[in-house]
């Protein structure tokens, strides 16, 4: 269906864990504190996973196999509460930093 970004973010926020190959779904889920396991299909993935400090849960598509995926998902599932707390704290810091950057740019334009 056709859902707005806000609706998709709310939907992803209801998940216990998200496994994905699409950047925006992983960003939205992590912003909602949902643990993510990503399959790296783009150069954008690694910097994002470093930013949210979840590099362990990123699988390079070239080295992806069932065992690797299963192990990462199993580990994320076992640690989902701790990961969720870490993501909430980290994304809060990143959102504040983004707002601070916006204020700085606006002050330069004045």
Residue 25: name the closest of 35, 12, 34 by CA. Answer: 12
- The CA-based angle 11-14-19, given to 5 degrees, is 85
Per-residue pLDDT tens over the stretch 29-75: 999 999 999 999 999 999 999 999 999 999 999 989 999 999 999 99
Expressed as residue numbers, the domain containing 12 is 5-109
Ramachandran sector of residue 33 (left: φ over 0; alpha: ψ -120 to 50; beta: rest):
left
Task: Kindly state the tokens that stand for 108.
Answer: 């330069």
The number of domains in the chain is 1
pLDDT digits (tens, 9 = 90+) for 68-96: 999 999 999 999 999 999 999 988 777 77
| Angle subtended at Cα 21 by Cα 93 and Cα 36, rounded to the nearest 5 degrees | 40
């Amino acid at each position: 269906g056709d859902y707005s970004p806000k609706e998709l973010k709310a939907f992803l926020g209801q998940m216990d864990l998200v496994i994905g190959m699409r950047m925006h779904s992983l960003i939205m889920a992590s912003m909602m504190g949902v643990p993510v396991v990503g399959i790296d299909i783009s150069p954008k993935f690694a910097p994002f996973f470093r930013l949210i400090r979840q590099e362990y849960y990123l699988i390079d598509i070239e080295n992806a196999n069932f065992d690797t995926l299963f192990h990462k998902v199993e580990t994320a599932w076992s640690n989902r509460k701790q990961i969720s707390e870490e993501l909430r704290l980290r994304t809060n810091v990143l959102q504040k930093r983004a707002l601070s950057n916006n204020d700085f740019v606006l002050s330069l334009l004045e």
